[in-house]
Amino acid sequence: MMCDFMLYLFFYLIMKVRKDGKRNLLVWAYALITLVLAIFSLYFLSRYRTNQELSAAQSRDLNEECVLLGFYDSGDIWHFLSALGLFFSSVTLLVIDDDMNDAPRHHIFVF
């Protein structure tokens, strides 16, 4: 879901810049935050070890040491970062067209 959302977000940003030319700093800041969170969440996803074919006791042996506050492992950090990435990508899509509130409808390019 995150990859699909990110592809749509960056497609929309590219098309907005190509056709509209306006650059809102807040939108680009949110997009950058989204990209950074996505990269870090994918990093922690790659470190997360799990095997659903094992029993719960065997799967527990695969757990690594807690890396954040002595309580959260990389799987938990992956969940936090991916949730924040999805949130900021949603916020980016919500504010990307704020500059078009006063534009006449026939002047808005649809792609």
Query: What does the pLDDT average to over 55-79?
Result: 69
Listed in sequence order, the residues at least 6 apart from 103 whose beta carbon sits closer than 8 Å to its beta carbon are: none
pLDDT bucket at 14, cuts 50 / 70 / 90: confident
- Residue spans of the domains in the chain: they are 2-50+61-98
Pair 9, 89: CB distance under 8 Å: yes
* Cα separation values, 90 from 11, 51, 54, 59, 95, Å: 14, 31, 36, 34, 9
* Residues paired with residue 72 on neighbouring β-strands, in sequence order: 68
Q: Residue 95 — φ and ψ, nearest 5°?
A: -100, 0
pLDDT digits 0-9 by tens, 54-65? 676 666 666 666
State if pTM tops 0.85: no
